[in-house]
Amino acid sequence: MRGKTFWDIERSRRRAAWILFLLFFPFFTLSLVGLFYILRFTGFLWGGKFPEFLGVASLISLVVFLIGKAGAKREKILEYLVSLRAQRPDLQDLKHKQAQNVVREMAIAASVKEPQLYIIPVLARNAFSAFDIIAVTEGAVSSLERDELQAVVAHEMAHYLRGDSYYKGIISTFLMTITSLFGASLVLAGLSDDEKGRTRRGGGGRMWLIVAYLYLVQFMARVLNAAISRRMEELADARAVQFTRNPLALASALYKISRDRVRGLASFANPALSSLFIMPPTASSLDEGSGLFSNLFSTHPPINKRIGLLLDLAHSDWGTLRDRATRRKPTGEWWVEREGKWLGPFTLEELFQKTWLREGVKIKGKEREFVFGPEFLKNFQKIQGGCPRCGGPLFNTHYQFVPVIKCGRCGGILVREGRAMKLIARGEALITKGEKKISEEDLEEKRKILLKKGADPRAVDPSEALRCPFCGKPMERRFFNFVTYTPVDYCKRCGYIFFDSGELEIIISGLQRLSSLYKKA
């Protein structure tokens, strides 16, 4: 494969995709002709010759094509996005704003109208496109590097540019028609058997012959559909390289996404729409392997093959890819004391984002050690209201580009409910080994309490109910999730969640630990 350019790959994949797509029409038509002959042979149809069968089958194929073309509607994708709880980008969120800018850049590169961007609020990294819509998960927006996100969007832009969602909509209609015929024949064949399972005189055997034929047709149709989908994915990869001129970025993004499909998206993924994603939302041996069944039925090329092709285009190798995908941000030079342990090193920006950083905490750098105090608050704009936990001053700031309200005294933060998932997705880069150890110890203590007193958040945090600093109403105490059993306070009226000092880091560490267990499994 070495020596090929993305132009060569694009030409070959485009030709293959078109040939396979055009084969679907004669395949469906001839399958109907074959069905008519079997119906005549079994006595369910009288008379008829090949020209008549071909004419009727062609008419049915045309009707199915028109139904598929009319049914490939944008409204269905919008309904699917509603089921995924997807939202338009929050432009106050700097990561969402970056994603919106990336979509705009790729639309300019592709010379098309800018599609609408939606964000799916799950931690898994993935993306899909249909019609003039591109949907990217919060995990991808939050944790992919900018050039990796750009490559993913470029891949989806290629589908948008070619109108692949229309092709897939038409093919799915043909598949549904064949499946419906097979299902109906299976029911009729079952009805032709008596209560003891014996074939009734005159009909059962003939019906099972029709079932066997339609099963074979359905099998071949699924193989053809999978082949078309694979060619479309390979073509979109080549187009993405054309738009970005950065095959290594797409290879790195696919590598990260392939290692991350166990988190969050599986429960929302509609099997009928999984072919729309840049990678199937759930891990499957068909998509991972390269054997006969993978080549026949997988809607996406094997991930190793896709990445290997991109590495060839980048004149790179797997070692370079793994180094890039697993590299960490440059560490800082600041250390902070927490529960008798020195944690770090952090950059100054990372240090100030720690929710457990509060007045009186010891901090040290290369040349000095000091006690953290209110002087850093001068850099932030104070807002009305006091901290619900300690009454301290509240300030607008950002946590990993997400707008939050932070207490300058106790370190607690207030965040709108819809933004809480972003904090979890983006905080992973800041978590140290020391914080993970503290999180494990905290979880063990909570388990002991809950075993004695039951799954009640007030058993873990028996302090008085907090009051919302904006409306003054009592806040509801509940578990943020049932992985870390961390109680948080929530105001239904204002839509704010309050995380006490250190709670956010405990939640992030717990979810990281769960994710690592899935990956090992």
Catalytic residues: 156
Closest of 378, 388, 326, 330 to residue 352, by C-alpha: 378
C-alpha distance from residue 225 to each of 24, 62, 82, 283 (Å): 8, 18, 27, 20
pLDDT (0 to 100) of residue 195: 47
CB 304 within 8 A of CB 238: no
Between 4-8, 180-184, 396-400, the lowest mean confidence (pLDDT) is in 4-8
Residue 382 has phi, psi (to 5 degrees) of -75, 145
What pTM, to 2 d.p., does this model score? 0.72
Average pLDDT value for the chain: 81
Return d(Cα 25, Cα 174) in angstroms, integer: 9
Where exactly are the structural domains of the chain? 6-76+163-325, 377-520
Assess whether pLDDT exceeds 70 at residue 144: yes
Assess whether pLDDT exceeds 60 at residue 130: yes
Average pLDDT on 209-218 reads 89
Which residue did the predictor score with more confidence, 99 or 470? Answer: 99
Closest of 80, 134, 89 to residue 269, by C-alpha: 80
Return d(Cα 25, Cα 219) in angstroms, integer: 16
pLDDT (0 to 100) of residue 253: 94
- Packing angle, helices 204-244 and 164-191, rounded to 10: 160
Which residue did the predictor score with more confidence, 211 or 517? Answer: 211
Assess whether pLDDT exceeds 80 at residue 376: no
Report the percent of the chain where pLDDT is more than 90.
Answer: 22
Per-residue confidence band for 269, with pLDDT thresholds at 50, 70 and 90: low
Planar angle of CA 245, 248, 254, nearest 5 degrees: 115
- Ranges of beta strands (E only) in 121-216 are 127-130, 133-137
